[in-house]
Amino acid sequence: MEAHILVIGRHPEIMDVILRLINGENGWHATGALTNEKALELFNDNNFDLVLIGGGVDEESLNDLANHFKNKNPAIKIVKHYGGGSGLLFNEIQEALNK
Amino acid sequence: MIALFLAVMHSKIIKTIVVITTIVYNFVYCFSLIQSEREMQPKNLKTMQTIIHRANTRGHANHGWLDTNHTFSFAHYYDPARVQFGMLRVLNDDVVDGGKGFGTHPHDNMEIISIPLSGDLEHKDSMGNTAVIRENDIQILSAGTGIYHSEYNKNIDKKVNFLQIWVFPKERDIAPRYDQKTFNPEDRVNKLQVVVSPSKESEGVWINQDAWFSLGNFKKDFQTSYSINQKGNGLYAFVLEGDVTIQDQKLNKRDGFGVWDIDAITIKADSDAQLLLMEVPMN
């Protein structure tokens, strides 16, 4: 399944791992943002199917970003990621895309 | 004629009124009975819920150096019906070849518990911890904002078998934390020994979740019970060795059995058996 995924996190090394793992999957394309500003910029300029919120993103930022994303694209799927590029990553994405 | 007609009509009207009154009375009576029965029942009484995961239905992957069985969906094993049990997300039964292991990799926001069943596992992490965990040790890693670690089989000539258990954290983005403890196996012979708990004063290793793990080594025919620590929590039992019966459900080695909407369970050892109980919030 083709999917464009925006990953938002605060930890550069974990971000690298997550991007590498997602982009290693056939049909999945991930782009990362380490700041809210970058995330908003990327979201406004691209069509994403899913937003993955990684570690370090506080509740206030998360709510602000989610509101912005939902306003721009009500169908966007937003998932809190747990595990940091672990064996759960594929499951989380698959679950969200299947909903 | 008119008098007769009026008398008949009057009689029919009275009969109709009687019938309607009887129907209304019966309806009100039945309704009040149902209501009073409801009030007599304890509030929030729910029916016990269960789920069973037989050992041979687990997701299996053999990576050469790693032979693993996943009770819940993990990596490329994905079954939407088996994603988690409440806050319990991962239960991997890993066998790692001598000298091999998981190279340095990151985690965040996850409570990771390792329980060696046989062999020795060498742990190194980005907080500077280097340790070897052995049988009767329990290791916990609260990944929080982010941590790197590696886990290798300490021995070249012997496999290590360990359980890798992941629980969703109660609080996201806490400071990363590592702990390990050694437990005396004598203290779980025919009793349950708490090995993981949310209380820092408890003997178990501390977890960033309202979760309690217990181990028990039971002799054949031993019976006991387990009471839920926190209302609303569920219990997931994993049979390490032997056969047990929990709430009339017969279980064998490496079977998993989840129970929720219940205050306590009964356990019976059908053979000499070893059991891991994991109490976790259901949502």
- Cβ-Cβ contacts under 8 Å between A and B: the total is 73
Instruction: Give B114-139 pLDDT, tens digit per residue.
Output: 999 999 999 999 999 999 999 999 99
Q: Which residue is it, tokens 């990553």? A: A89
Distance from C-alpha of B256 to C-alpha of B277, rounded to nearest angstrom: 10
> What is the value of ipTM here, to two decimals?
0.74
Q: Determine what percent of chain B is predicted with pLDDT higher than 90.
A: 76
What are the φ/ψ torsions at residue A61 (nearest 5 degrees)?
A: -60, -45
A83 touches chain B (CB under 8 A): yes
Look at A12-26, A78-92, B56-70, B143-157 and tell me which has the smallest mean pLDDT: A78-92
Instruction: Give B78-120 pLDDT, tens digit per residue.
Output: 898 999 999 999 999 999 999 999 988 889 999 999 999 999 9
Question: Residue B260 pLDDT more than 50?
Answer: yes
**Nearest Cα to Cα of residue B65 among B160, B146, B129, B145:** B160
Determine the average pLDDT of the residues in B148-153. Answer: 92
* Whole-number pLDDT of residue A1: 77
The CATH architecture that domain B49-281 belongs to is Sandwich (2.60)
Question: Residue B57 pLDDT more than 60?
Answer: yes
Q: How far is CA B245 from CA A22, B50, B56, in A?
A: 42, 13, 18
Contacts of B19 (CB under 8 A, 6+ apart): none
* Whole-number pLDDT of residue A86: 76
User: For chain B, which residues make up each domain, given as ranges?
Assistant: 1-41, 49-281
The closest CB to that of A84, out of B76, B90, B106, belongs to B106
HEC assignment per residue over B81-126: CCCCECCEEEEEEEEECCCCEEEEEEECCCEEEEEEEECCEEEEEC
* Whole-number pLDDT of residue B44: 42
* Whole-number pLDDT of residue A84: 74
Mean pLDDT of chain B: 89
* Whole-number pLDDT of residue B60: 96
**Taking CA B15 as the corner, what is the angle to CA B12 and CA B21, rounded to the nearest 5 degrees?**
140
Contact across the interface for B80 and A95, Cβ inside 8 Å:
yes
Radius of gyration of chain A (CA): 12
Q: Which amino acid is at A44?
A: N
Contact across the interface for B107 and A54, Cβ inside 8 Å:
no
Distance from C-alpha of B91 to C-alpha of B69, rounded to nearest angstrom: 8
Q: How far is A92 from chain B (nearest CA, A)?
A: 10
- Cβ atoms of B253 and B243 within 8 Å: the answer is yes
Question: Residue B33 pLDDT more than 70?
Answer: no
* Whole-number pLDDT of residue B39: 47
Q: Which amino acid is at A5?
A: I
The closest CB to that of A11, out of B74, B108, B110, belongs to B108
Q: Is the Cα torsion angle B114, B201, B256, A92 positive or negative in sign?
A: negative
Q: How far is B107 from chain A (nearest CA, A)?
A: 4
Element (H, E) at A12: helix A12-23
The closest CB to that of A84, out of B78, B80, B146, belongs to B146
Distance from C-alpha of B213 to C-alpha of B278, rounded to nearest angstrom: 4
* All structural domains of chain A: 3-98 (3.40.50.2300)
* Whole-number pLDDT of residue B30: 47
Q: Determine what percent of chain B is predicted with pLDDT higher than 70.
A: 84
Instruction: Give B167-216 pLDDT, tens digit per residue.
Output: 999 999 999 999 999 999 999 999 999 999 999 888 899 999 999 999 99
What are the φ/ψ torsions at residue A73 (nearest 5 degrees)?
A: -145, 95
Q: Which residue has the higher pLDDT, B224 or B39?
A: B224
* Whole-number pLDDT of residue B43: 45
Determine the average pLDDT of the residues in A54-67. Answer: 92
